[in-house]
Amino acid sequence: MPIELISAIIGFILTWMVFSYLIGDNALFRVAIYIFIGVSSGYAAAAICYYVLLPKLQLLPLNNPTQLIVGGIPFVLGFTVFAKISPRTSGLGSFAMALLVGVGAATALSGAVIGTLVPQARAAMDALDVRSSGGNAFLNLVEGLVMLAGTALTLAYFQFSAQRAPDGSVRRNVILEILAWGGRVFIAITFGVLFAGVYMAALTAMIERLSSIINVVKSFLGL
C-alpha cells in the first residue's frame, strides 16, 4: 500500500474523529486532540534538539576552559528547569525560571514599544501629512483622523482613574466616560474584524479537510 494512501486514510479517520465533536464531547474527539498535542510536542522537542541544542553544543570552545564555562551556563540552567517536574526539587529551577520570565517580559515589552507603539504613532502622524499624500490628500487625511481618534479613544477606555462622589460612589469624569464609550466602539470593531479573520481561516481549513475526505472516498470508489 503506497504511503500516500496510508496518509490519506489516517487523515480521513482523524478528520472524522475531530468532526465527532459536533455531536458532543466524546472519547474519539479527545483521542484525536491527544494525538495532535503529542505529535506537536514531539515535533517541537525534536526541532529544538536538532536546530538549537546540537548546533550550540558544536560551537562550544572545548579548548578554552573560560569560554567553555561561560557557554555551559545556559545548558546548566536549562537542565535545572527539569527540576520543576517534581515538587521536591522544583526550587532548583526557580532561578532559571525567574531569568526566563524576566528576560521574556523585558523582550516582549521592548518589542511592543519599538515594534508596535512607535511605528503606529509614526504611521498615524504620517497619515496626517497632506504634503506627501498626492491626489488623495482628503482621503488620507480622513484615514489619519480615524486612526488618531481610534488610538486616543481606545487609550481613554483603559484609563481607570476615578473620583469619589459625595454619596460615596466612585465615578469617572463624564467626558472620560464618553471617550471610553467611543473606545469600546473601536475595540468592538477590532474584535469583530479579528473574529471574521479567524472564522474565515477555520472555514478554509474545514473546506480543505472536506475536500480531502471527498478525494479519499473517490480513490476507494475508483472515480
What is the reported pLDDT for 203? 87
* Domain membership flag for residue 83: no
Most distant CA atoms of the chain, gap in Å:
82
Asked if 133 and 54 sit in the same domain, the reply is: no
What is the reported pLDDT for 193? 92
* Domain membership flag for residue 78: no
* Domain membership flag for residue 153: yes
A 10 A CB-CB count for 179 gives: 20
Mean pLDDT taken over the chain: 80
* Domain membership flag for residue 97: no
Asked if 138 and 53 sit in the same domain, the reply is: no
Asked if 52 and 136 sit in the same domain, the reply is: no
* Domain membership flag for residue 2: yes
What is the reported pLDDT for 34? 93
* Domain membership flag for residue 85: no
What is the reported pLDDT for 188? 92
- Which of 44, 59, 74 terminates a domain? The answer is 59
pLDDT at 99 over 60: yes
pLDDT digits (tens, 9 = 90+) for 137-189: 677 777 778 887 888 888 888 876 766 666 666 666 778 788 888 888 989 99
Name the percent of the chain lying above pLDDT 90.
Answer: 12
153 touches 175 (CB < 8 A): no
What is the reported pLDDT for 162? 65
Asked if 44 and 135 sit in the same domain, the reply is: no
Over residues 82-109, mean pLDDT: 85
pLDDT at 51 over 80: yes
What is the reported pLDDT for 22? 80
At 162 the three-state DSSP class reads coil
Question: How far, in Å, CA of 139 to CA of 51, rounded?
Answer: 48
Asked if 135 and 217 sit in the same domain, the reply is: yes
Residues with Cβ < 8 Å from 157, sequence gap 6 or more?
179, 180, 183, 184, 187
Strands of 45-176 (E only): list them: 163-164, 170-171
* Domain membership flag for residue 118: no
Tell me the three cell numbers of residue 185. 466602539
- Which of 41, 59, 77 terminates a domain? The answer is 59
* Domain membership flag for residue 77: no
User: Taking the mean position of all CA atoms in its chain, how far away is CA 56?
Assistant: 27
For residue 149, give its domain range.
128-223
- Which of 32, 59, 86 terminates a domain? The answer is 59
Tally of domains within the chain: 2
